[in-house]
Amino acid sequence: MTVHRRLALTASVVGAVIVALDGTALTVAQPALQRALGASFAQVQWTSTGYLIAVASLLVFSGRLGDRYGHQRLFAVGMLGFGAASAGIGLASGIGWMIGLRVVQGVFGALLQPATLGMLRAAYPPDRLRKPIAVRTAAIGVAAAVGPVVGGALVAGPGWRSVFFLNVAPAVVLGGLALCGPGHRWAMAGQGPRQLPSRQAPKQTLAARLDVPGALLLALTLAGLVHTLVALPDAGWTTAGEAGAVLVAAAAFVRHERRTASPLLPPDVVGSATVGSALGILVAASAALHGTLFVGAYVLQYTLGLDAFQSALRSLPLAVMMVAAAPAGAVLLPRAGARRTTVTAMAVLALGILLLIRASGTLALCAGFGLLGAGFGTVMVAATHVVVRHSAVESAGVAGGAKQTAMNVGPTLGVAAATVLMGAGGGRALPLVVLASVAVAGAAVGGLLPGRAAGAVDDLCDTADDLGDAGPRSSVPARR
């Protein structure tokens, strides 16, 4: 592995880990900061909701910016801004400042996240993406597992403000290295001249090609969708008006994209049945997992009477199996193909959810959570690999943004559905059966992914393309 690829992989992993740690540690710190700042429960919830809306609404446009101007640049700006916002949150004097800075942090998080995948797509040939994606997925699993522990230790020790200083040093260091790197080429090593951002076109021309109206319409759609889903458990069906507004914005976005000459979502991403299926699977898998975890937390602590530490121990197999499933998924993909790997993993995820419906003993609970981790970790590797691999390099940022959007919308949808179904008086059985059905539907969609034979042929073609990058056609600018 070249130095440039090591840097791209390190940046991708650290960036993803910082975002994952921030979210899990904040959950633990919320009760303490609520008491310290004298905030209401609704205000504390907005520290998460404001961030989520900002991220979800800007991810795809940020990916397009990375495709135009370089993923390393966007990664550097995102990391530095994320670290600065984290420091500001740690120094915030009131809940209003904290909510505002969390929104700012979400904006920089949106710049950062698509770049972590865009750099990998540009740095590695398509047939070598499995391992770096598996490493990234495993690192996210580790961060999700240790985040609550680290957050709890910091809250109990130095205090809740220290949670937000946790990410400052690595964000500043890695962001500074990316900003001052040699010619912004981490993500471009070994790909030939056709992968480099155009430096002949004037900046005005590049800016004119950006689909700003489409970006605004998509941001409005996604922000409205996330807000509606977050408010659904409390407002019930009174959010029908908001849902209607979201549908109108979505229709306007689709109409605009069909008519514009330079759409925000290029045809190789939005028009690909393979990429679309993989994105749908990610939404289904993340909705099923996070909805189940929401139900599981109430079952463990309210139904079974366990404290937070005992609950964490019983759910620990989820993180362990997710980390173990990441390299296993990378091994399975070339042997079984994306279709068989994903369908099987989604079935395992559904089986884990069904097992938790009646589970009460330690062994049954650990088995159920372990199956959740094994299924979800494998799906993450397989579906992410399909999204990144089957998107053109010049659209890698948009593909990464679409993938991250799916991973933000899915959990919000799953938790909202679980909350409403639990409130309907069905206990844990009704929401878990519905969430298992969502996983089964995701398995059905997995049948549209390429099989092993198709993947093998693609690998040969992609390898030939990589070997030919230095030829005459590499000097032709890629169609944008």
Q: How confident is the model at residue 463 (pLDDT cuts 50, 70, 90)?
A: very low
| Token pair listed for 357 | 């419906």
Whether 358 shows a pLDDT value over 60: the answer reads: yes
Q: How confident is the model at residue 234 (pLDDT cuts 50, 70, 90)?
A: low
Whether 372 shows a pLDDT value over 90: the answer reads: yes
| Token pair listed for 310 | 């005992």
What is the distance between the alpha carbons of residues 412 and 283, in angstroms, rounded to a whole number?
A: 10
Q: How confident is the model at residue 365 (pLDDT cuts 50, 70, 90)?
A: very high
Whether 312 shows a pLDDT value over 80: the answer reads: no
What is the distance between the alpha carbons of residues 322 and 371, in angstroms, rounded to a whole number?
A: 9
Distance (Å) of CA 116 to CA 47, 253, 400, 401, 458: 24, 26, 8, 10, 24
CB-based burial, 23-56: b 16+ in 10 Å, e otherwise: bbbbebbbebbbeebebeeebbbbbbbbbbbbbb
Specify the pLDDT at position 193.
36
What is the distance between the alpha carbons of residues 376 and 275, in angstroms, rounded to a whole number?
A: 18
Select the highest-mean-pLDDT range: 88-97, 305-314, 426-435.
Answer: 88-97
Residue whose entry in the numeric block shows the structure tokens 């004119």 = 208
405/475: higher pLDDT? 405
Share of the chain above pLDDT 70, in %: 85
pTM to 2 decimal places: 0.78
Q: Identity (one letter) of the amino acid at 21?
A: L
Of 72, 167, 143, 155, the residue nearest 397 (C-alpha): 72
Residue whose entry in the numeric block shows the structure tokens 């990144």 = 388
Whether 7 shows a pLDDT value over 60: the answer reads: yes
What average pLDDT does the segment 334-338 reach? Answer: 91
Q: How confident is the model at residue 105 (pLDDT cuts 50, 70, 90)?
A: very high
Specify the pLDDT at position 93.
87
What average pLDDT does the segment 52-62 reach? Answer: 88
Distance (Å) of CA 446 to CA 50, 275, 277, 349: 33, 11, 7, 13
212/185: higher pLDDT? 212
Of 361, 351, 380, 371, the residue nearest 310 (C-alpha): 361
Q: What angle do CA 310, 314, 315 make, to 5 degrees?
A: 115
Instruction: List for the chain the helix, strand, coil content (%; round to 5).
Output: 85, 0, 15
What is the distance between the alpha carbons of residues 16 and 269, in angstroms, rounded to a whole number?
A: 22
Q: Which residues contact 184 (CB under 8 A, 6 or more apart)?
A: 70, 72, 73
Q: What's 263's DSSP letter?
A: -
- CA atoms within 13 Å, Cβ hemisphere of 435: 38
Select the highest-mean-pLDDT range: 36-45, 101-110, 292-301, 386-395.
Answer: 101-110
Specify the pLDDT at position 431.
92
Q: What is the DSSP string of 271-306?
A: T-HHHHHHHHHHHHHHHHHHHHHHHHHHIIIIIS--
What average pLDDT does the segment 240-261 reach? Answer: 86
Whether 205 shows a pLDDT value over 50: the answer reads: no
**Average pLDDT score over the chain:** 81
